[in-house]
């Protein structure tokens, strides 16, 4: 029951965050003062196009979907880990709050470029080699999106089904993850001077290859 509820929230979260990103871009980044009704309410066009653009952000819909699915599954398993070291994963305990928190997604967001580079270096694979692992790790946006959206969905599923963890934890946790993901989609996230956006990574890769 919980897993099916998680899947429902996963889809709902993906749709809601995609809409949030669309309106953030439209209202704050577009520089426009007036909008047509179709721009604001044509959700049948807005939602599918936005979701596809997330999966295709690195140029491959197939690898984007695969990366999103794998990272979402990994994140879901991560949120269940608190149940292995203490009380069940849905109860009001420190371990569950840790594994359901925004900490893991934020660390992945901050250090994804470093982690992916180290994995490829350990495997002796060039980022531009076209190998399966290189193409998968190049799907930064789908991978990070899968992690963030999965953790949000897991928070909602656990709280919605059991009501044992605190709402005062779930609400800010979900809000932080949502805001950070939207900012990342728009290249607005900085951590300690480390710019985590696709343009900088591409520049670094070119420098390494030369």
For the stretch 23-32, pLDDT in tens is: 999 888 888 8
Tokens of 92: 């009001």
Neighbours of 176 (CB within 10 A): 16
Q: How many helices (H) and strands (E) does the chain have?
A: 10, 2
Per-residue CA distances from 79 to 20, 84, 121 (Å): 24, 11, 29
SS3 category, 113: helix
Q: How far is the C-alpha of 189 from the C-alpha of 57, rounded, in Å?
A: 17
How far apart CA 46 and CA 115 sit, in angstroms, is 33
**Predicted TM-score (pTM) above 0.85:** yes
Residues 6+ apart with CB under 8 A from 45: none
Tokens of 124: 């002796």
Bridge partners of 191, per DSSP, are 194
Radius of gyration of the chain (CA): 18
Cα gap 111→149, rounded to integer Å: 18
**Region at 130 (left for phi over 0; alpha for psi -120 to 50; beta for the rest):** left
User: What count of other Cβ atoms lies within 10 Å of the Cβ of residue 194?
Assistant: 12
pLDDT tens column, 179-188: 999 999 998 8
What was the pLDDT predicted at 198? 43
Task: Supply the pLDDT for residue 199.
Answer: 43
Is the separation of the CB atoms in 16 and 145 below 8 Å? no
- What's the pLDDT tens digit per position in 158-173? 999 999 999 999 999 9
Task: Note whether 99 and 79 are within 8 A (CB).
Answer: yes
Instruction: Calculate what percentage of the chain has a pLDDT beyond 90.
Output: 68
Q: For residue 143, what pLDDT is reported?
A: 96
Q: What does pLDDT average to over the chain? A: 88
* Phi/psi of residue 191, nearest 5 degrees: -130, 110
């Amino acid at each position: 029951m919980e897993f099916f509820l998680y899947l429902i929230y996963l889809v709902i979260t993906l749709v809601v965050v995609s809409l949030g990103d669309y309106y953030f871009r439209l209202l704050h980044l577009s520089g426009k003062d007036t909008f047509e009704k179709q721009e604001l309410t044509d959700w049948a066009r807005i939602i599918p196009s936005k979701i596809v653009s997330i999966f295709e952000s690195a140029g491959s819909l197939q690898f984007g979907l695969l990366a999103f699915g794998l990272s979402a599954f990994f994140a879901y398993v991560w949120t269940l880990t608190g149940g292995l070291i203490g009380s069940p994963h849905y109860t009001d305990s420190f371990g569950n709050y840790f594994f359901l928190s925004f900490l893991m997604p934020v660390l992945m967001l901050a250090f994804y470029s470093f982690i992916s580079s180290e994995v490829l270096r350990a495997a002796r694979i060039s980022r531009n080699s076209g190998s399966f692992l290189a193409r998968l790790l190049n799907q930064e946006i789908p991978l990070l999106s899968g992690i963030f959206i999965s953790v949000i969905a897991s928070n909602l599923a656990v709280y919605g089904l059991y009501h044992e963890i605190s709402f005062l934890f779930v609400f800010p946790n979900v809000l932080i993850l949502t805001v950070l993901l939207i900012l990342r989609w728009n290249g607005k996230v900085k951590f300690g001077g480390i710019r985590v956006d696709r343009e900088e990574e591409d520049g670094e890769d070119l420098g390494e290859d030369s």
